[in-house]
Amino acid sequence: MAKVEREGSVSEGELREFLREMLLIRRFEEKVEERFRAGELPGFLHVAIGQEAVAVGVCSALGEDDVFASTHRAHGHTLARGTHPNHVMAELYGKLEGCSRGYGGSMHLYDVERGNMGANAVVGGGLPAVTGAALAFKLRGEARVALAFFGDGATNIGTFHEALNLAQLWRVPAVFVCENNAWAESTPASQHMPITDMSDRALAFGMEAISVYGQDVEEVRAATERALQHARSGEGPVFMDVETYRLTGHYVGDPQVYRPKGELDELRETQDPIDRLRERLGLADEELERIDREVTEIVEESVRFAKAGTDPAPEDALKNVYA
């Protein structure tokens, strides 16, 4: 296990782009919360406010032909991979223009063209398929990597252990990114894990593990590059334990009665990845405000696009059951 330090492989220009993307994701999710509370969005949804550096750091490192699977908290991953905000928002509104054509919703965002093999609403449910995708790449001799996002809560379920065991056994090019925000819905890590160092999970399989501080996008990016390089070179899969913070509830509207009083305020003060990157870049207020205006307009436009989108016909429900 190695602790990754900043390696300075990312240029200042790229870092500014990261900031823009992270802010876009933040504003997108804030807007989604707002529209949900206004009663415009069906179903229910989970935002990843506070975890933007993980999405952007990891997805920016992926190669064009790499694939990934996401979780119920998937907006950030999907946007960071380049799916247009219009198509993500349209999905949340249940429109045919949505990235899953209105068949998926917030917890089932897909964009196969961009290697998004689906956000999964069964915790840990997508992990074995990541091992299998990586197996396909290995069998065909393709230099591609399959990557899984999942949370600390997922490390308790059988699919996690079976998927990692198979991946290491078969030395497939997979990367397992644990977004370790220390909460499984409302259950703290102390109540769901008998260990304190998450990367010990990987040791059980003899798997390469990297621990990384997930509120620093540069660190995440550097660690992901290393992990991808390791996997792509045929040395086998990598487990990334990414320490991150969910600066909201489990779902939109979660009263978070389980959280110690004051914890959230403190975390928002100290663990906001966007504040951190802004400081790192020494960005002036007006510069940040300019970026903010730009991304806010993109988000507003996505809402306009989604609302003007096409509702599926009821009988469209009968399509796509079989190929």
Q: What is the C-alpha to C-alpha distance for residues 178 and 304, in angstroms, rounded to an integer?
A: 34
Of the pair 50, 128, the CB lying nearest another protein is at 128
Of the pair 135, 274, the CB lying nearest another protein is at 135
Closest CA relative to residue 213, chosen from 259, 185, 180, 250: 180
Q: Does 165 bind another protein (CB under 8 A)?
A: yes
Of the pair 139, 195, the CB lying nearest another protein is at 139
Closest CA relative to residue 202, chosen from 178, 226, 186, 228: 178
Residue bearing tokens 């913070």: 245
Cβ–Cβ < 8 Å for 278, 67: no
- Taking CB under 8 A as the criterion, the residue among 1, 122, 195, 284 binding another protein is 122
**Chain-centre distance of CA 185, in angstroms?**
16
Stretch that binds another protein, among 5-13, 33-41, 137-145, 189-197 (CB under 8 A): 137-145
- Taking CB under 8 A as the criterion, the residue among 1, 5, 34, 139 binding another protein is 139
Of the pair 49, 129, the CB lying nearest another protein is at 129
Name the minimum Å distance from CB 278 to another protein: 36
Cβ–Cβ < 8 Å for 92, 255: no
Name the minimum Å distance from CB 206 to another protein: 14
The amino acid occupying position 166 is L
Provide DSSP, 177-218. Answer: EEEE-SEETTEEHHHH-S-S-TTHHHHTTT-EEEEEETT-HH
Stretch that binds another protein, among 17-25, 94-102, 212-220, 234-242 (CB under 8 A): 94-102
Cβ–Cβ < 8 Å for 170, 135: yes
Q: What is the C-alpha to C-alpha distance for residues 119 and 77, in angstroms, rounded to an integer?
A: 9
Stretch that binds another protein, among 119-127, 175-183, 229-237, 288-296 (CB under 8 A): 119-127
Q: Does 177 bind another protein (CB under 8 A)?
A: no
Q: What residues make contact with another protein under the rule CB under 8 A?
A: 67, 98, 100-104, 108, 110-113, 117-118, 120, 122, 125-137, 139-140, 146, 158-159, 162-163, 165-166, 169, 319-323
